[in-house]
Structure 1
């Protein structure tokens, strides 16, 4: 059976023709003739050289927009979960259970353990 090269390429984020080339047995036979100075340095020496150009981790204010909100919420009798004063629906089978809410400021992801139950766009208006 022939593999789906396009699907594999999307998963590993490379061109589908490259996936097909390696699937068909391509090996890179070119060997670098001239070694650079960096090739002779070990990883520890390279790290020590780069340490001077490394910057400290940014402040919480800068990182906060990229962090996801994660918290358990209990499903009420109306099969709804409240998040930021708005209610979002979940299937009735989850009434009374605690589900994990994860938010990225645009969408609300609701999980039962690791199973994704539903995705809702986050409403900015109050209901």
Structure 2
């Protein structure tokens, strides 16, 4: 499952990019997310790279709870960033894309993580399926 995370708020693209960089560093502290989150750089309409500004974070997640960890970390981050008005989660799984928005006021509620996860499940996203175990090598047995 791929999850694109964007944040609304701040006065400039540079401030928004800095905020996303801060969020990426926080997400890197989560064991289940380490190495799975990267920055997406701004491109112009022709698809050319415009520079070091980040417009989104992209998380390549395995099923089994990583989405819940991602949402929990984003909620905690939002509670500490009063200028972040909303965060959008664009979840792509197989041939389906679901877009969920978490507003700052919602992030302050005690059940914010549960609500976003429940909304994803209700939209048909399989967020809690256990990952497939690795295939075992045949034994000489």
TM over 0.5: no
Relative CO higher for 1 or 2, CA cutoff 8 Å, sep ≥ 6?
2
CA radius of gyration, larger in:
1
Give TM class, smaller chain: under 0.3
Give 1 or 2: higher strand fraction: 2
TM-score by length of 1: 0.25
